[in-house]
Amino acid sequence: MKVEKIYVYGYGNPGRSDDGLGAAIIKKLEDEKILEVVTDCNYQLNIEDADNISSSDVVIFVDASIEAKEPFEFRGIEPAADITFTTHAMSPESVLALCQDIYGKHPKAYVLAIRGYNWDFAEGLSSKAIKNLEEAYLFLMQKIRDMLSGKE
């Protein structure tokens, strides 16, 4: 299936070192200026994001993870009604559930979890996280090319 619009949403706190991986990948992706790719970035997922993703064919949520295998993990997700509204607790699955419930839309969705190591209050990524970011970025760019060409 050829995809016409991909929404890539990075989230996390760049002031907490590797928690800024989501924002870092969005910054790199914005430099590509791909017409069919919409990017967004925030500290956490919010209720409003259901509206933001509702007009996309595909949404890719990007976040740092202390649990992901190195260098990153990529997996498909489905809507889940585990809706919570506390700091950084709204999951991508919850955003999808809201999108489906409110707008009747169900974009194909994925999570790209990039392995991080340092969550101290500091600007900048650790050297190991930078390496993982580079590998995740190359993977993401290929995945986007495949989706836009109909290979995926």
pLDDT at position 85 is: 53
What pLDDT digit, counting tens, does each position of 134-151 carry? 999 999 999 999 999 998
Percent share of the chain, pLDDT over 70: 95
Average pLDDT over residues 46-61: 96
Flag whether pLDDT at 87 surpasses 70. no
Residue 47 to residue 56: CA distance in whole angstroms: 16
Label residue 2 by pLDDT band (50, 70, 90). confident
**Residue whose pair of structure tokens reads 């069919």 in the numeric block:** 36
Residue 105 to residue 100: CA distance in whole angstroms: 5
The DSSP result for 27-65, as a single string, is HHHHHH--TTEEEEEESS--TTHHHHHTT-SEEEEEEEE
Going from N- to C-terminal start, the domains of the chain cover 6-149
Architecture of domain 6-149: 3-Layer(aba) Sandwich (3.40)
Residue 11 to residue 24: CA distance in whole angstroms: 9
Residue 83: both structure tokens together: 């809706």
Flag whether pLDDT at 80 surpasses 80. yes
DSSP tag of 126: -
Q: How many C-alpha atoms does 125 have within 13 Å on its Cβ side?
A: 21
